[in-house]
Amino acid sequence: MLSLLQLCGPVKSWKRVPDPTTGALKGFGFCEFRNVEGVLRALRLLSKLSIDGQELMLKFDNATKEYLKSYVEKKKENLKNTEAEDRNDEEMRSKNSERPETSSPDRSSRRSRERERDLKREKVRELERYEREREQDRAKREREREYKMRDDERRYRARLKEWENGEKEKERAHKQEREREKDREQDRKYEILDQENDDGYNKKRKYRSSGDDREERKRRLREKEEDMYDRIKEEEEIDEAKRRAEEERELQKEQQKTCFRAFIS
C-alpha cells in the first residue's frame, strides 16, 4: 500500500491502525502527503481501485476537503487566465501579421508584454520542472532510506541470531562442564567411600589380630598358671614324700634303738 501511495507523490507519513484486542493491523490507515498534488493524484488514481477483490476508498476530513476545493478552483482560474492570455496573444499575432509592419510605440509595448508573458510562462514551467525533480529526488531518498533500514534490520537479525547461537554454545559448554564436575565429585565421593571401607577393613583386621593376641596371651597365662600349679603340686608331693621318708627313717631308728635296749637289758 505504501508503494502505491508513493507513486502518487512524496509521502510524509503512513500509519495503519492496530486492533486494540488482538494487536493485528486493520484494513485502513492514515496517510499524509508532502504537497497537494500528491493528494489530488491519489484521489484521481486510487479512488475505487480494486485490490485483492476489495474496492479502495479514500476519505478526507472537512478542512482538507475545503483546502482541496479552493486549491482546485484557484488552479482552474489560473489555467483559464493563462488560456485567455494565450488566445489574446494569438489574436494579436494574427492581427499583427495581417497589418503592415509599423514602428509605432504600441507595437513595441505589445512585444514587451509578450516577452514578459513568455518569461513568466517559462518561469512557471521551470518551477514545475524543479518541483518534479525535487519530488523525484525526495522519493529516491525515501526509497534509499527504506532499503537502508531493511538492510540494517537484516544485519541486526543476523547478528542477533549469531549472538543467540554463541550464547547457546556457551550454555552448552557450561552444562557439559557442570556435568563433568558432577562426575568428578561423584568419583571423589566413591574414592572416599572406598578408602573408608579399606580403613574399616584394616581396623577390623587389626582388631581381630589384637583379639587373637589377647587370647594367645590368656592361653599362655593359663598354661603358665597350670605349669606353676603342677610344679607347686609336684614340689608339695616331693616334700611330702621326703617328710614321710624322713619319718619312716626316724621311726626305724626308734625301733632299732628300742630293740637294742631290749637286747641289752
Of residues 163 and 198, the one with the higher pLDDT is 163
> For 223-227, what is the mean pLDDT?
81
The owner of cell 479502495 is 56
Whether pLDDT at 257 is above 80: no
> For 197-217, what is the mean pLDDT?
58
Each residue of 104-119: pLDDT tens digit? 556 677 777 788 778 7
pLDDT band at 213 (very low <50, low <70, confident <90, very high): low
User: How many alpha carbons lie under 13 Å from residue 191 in its C-beta half-sphere?
Assistant: 6
Would you state the pLDDT for residue 200? 56
> For 187-211, what is the mean pLDDT?
62
The 10 Å CB-count burial string (b at 16+, else e) for 95-121 is eeeeeeeeeeeeeeebeeeeeeeeeee
How far apart, in whole angstroms, are the C-alpha atoms of residue 127 and residue 238? 162
Would you state the pLDDT for residue 101? 47
pLDDT band at 87 (very low <50, low <70, confident <90, very high): confident
Q: How far is CA 34 from CA 46, 66, 142, in A?
A: 17, 17, 12
pLDDT band at 26 (very low <50, low <70, confident <90, very high): confident
The owner of cell 483559464 is 80
Report the mean per-residue pLDDT for the chain. Answer: 76
Whether pLDDT at 211 is above 60: no
Would you state the pLDDT for residue 103? 45
Whether pLDDT at 185 is above 60: yes
Percent of the chain scoring above 90 in pLDDT: 0
Whether pLDDT at 249 is above 50: yes
Of residues 91 and 209, the one with the higher pLDDT is 91
Whether pLDDT at 250 is above 70: yes
How far apart, in whole angstroms, are the C-alpha atoms of residue 243 and residue 249? 10
Whether pLDDT at 202 is above 70: no
Name the DSSP letter for residue 97.
H
User: How many alpha carbons lie under 13 Å from residue 242 in its C-beta half-sphere?
Assistant: 6
pTM listed for this prediction: 0.31
CB atoms closer than 10 angstroms to residue 11: 20
Would you state the pLDDT for residue 43? 79
